[in-house]
Amino acid sequence: MVMLAPVQASLSSLSLHGAGAALRPFTTSSSMRQRKCTISCRSMEAGVGIFGTKAGMTSIYKDGNMLPVTVVALEPGNIVTQLKSEGREGYNSVQVGYRVVPDRKITKPERNHLAKAGAPPMKFLREFKVKDTQGLEPGQALNIASMFKEGDFVDVAGTSIGKGFQGCIKKYNFHRGAMTHGSKSKREHGSIGPGTTPGRVFKGVKMPGQMGNERVKIRKVEVLLVDEENGALVLKGGLPGKAGNVLEICPAKIVGVNV
């Protein structure tokens, strides 16, 4: 979260009242002159990440135990497309591109941006905010074998499966009402607040609505296998989304170790 300095409202702003009316400076109050602009950005990562495509789930045996795993396929891409420095942009970051596509699949500004870095046209771009960008340069292809190894932990982010408009029982695990004896609230929500005081519904009340189809990050997922030859990662457990979903994989943030 970056807080910018208060922005003074410009007196050169003009307002027109009625047809043929003269222009006059827009009068501003002290509260308007002290307006602040807040910019939200993603938090700093423990290191540069890569993209991957969720291929599906299976199970493997390790030390006599059967473990559920997710196979992540690495399609052509994972190329550095831009570097930002603290001296110029105010923070250090690495932009990575993924999934090479024909020129017609992206816009002309995107093609020029990627061509400037010496990278092919790619569909997905993601900026990883890091402490430093040493050892990286635009157009460099990231090598998974040097980034991850068996036993490492990673943070995986992606879009969860959308489940449409759902009620509170499915969405928030509410208890249902009685199903017999004339019950009038079998799967209903129930009260959402008192009437006269405060006479409104508080923000954040759990109510029916869209479920899923949102960005989800799973932290500290164990890497069980790195297959550089076939371009795949095998991660322990389930990951967001269905097969074909694009995932963001970066080193796990562990307090006292890398953050």
Using one digit for the tens of pLDDT, what is the confidence trace for 126-150? Answer: 999 998 888 899 999 999 999 999 9
Does 188 fall in a domain? Answer: no
Give per-residue pLDDT as tens, 27-84.
444 445 555 554 445 788 888 999 999 999 999 998 899 999 999 999 999 999 999 9
What is the tally of structural domains in the chain? 1
For residue 191, which phi and psi values (nearest 5 degrees)? -65, 140
Does 57 fall in a domain? Answer: yes
Length of the chain counted residue by residue: 259
Does 190 fall in a domain? Answer: no
The boundaries of the domain holding residue 91 are 50-161+211-251
CATH number at residue 150: 2.40.30.10
Distances in whole angstroms, Cα of residue 23 to Cα of each of 14, 20, 28: 6, 9, 15
Does 127 fall in a domain? Answer: yes
Give per-residue pLDDT as tens, 166-203.
999 999 999 999 999 999 889 998 888 888 888 899 99
Does 119 fall in a domain? Answer: yes
- Give the Cα separation of 117 and 63 in Å (integer): 45
Per-residue pLDDT averaged across 76-103, rounded?
Answer: 93
Cα distance between the two ends of the chain: 17
**pLDDT-derived band of residue 16, with 50, 70 and 90 as boundaries?**
very low
Higher pLDDT, 2 or 67: 67
**pLDDT-derived band of residue 161, with 50, 70 and 90 as boundaries?**
very high
Per-residue pLDDT averaged across 216-241, rounded?
Answer: 94
Model confidence at 26: pLDDT above 50: no
Average pLDDT score, the chain: 85
CB atoms within 10 A of CB 208: 15
Which parts of the chain fold into alpha helices (H)?
Answer: 30-33, 108-116, 144-147, 168-172
Does 26 fall in a domain? Answer: no
Does 241 fall in a domain? Answer: yes
Does 101 fall in a domain? Answer: yes
Beta strands in 101-214 (DSSP E): 122-129, 153-159, 164-166, 209-211
Model confidence at 1: pLDDT above 70: no
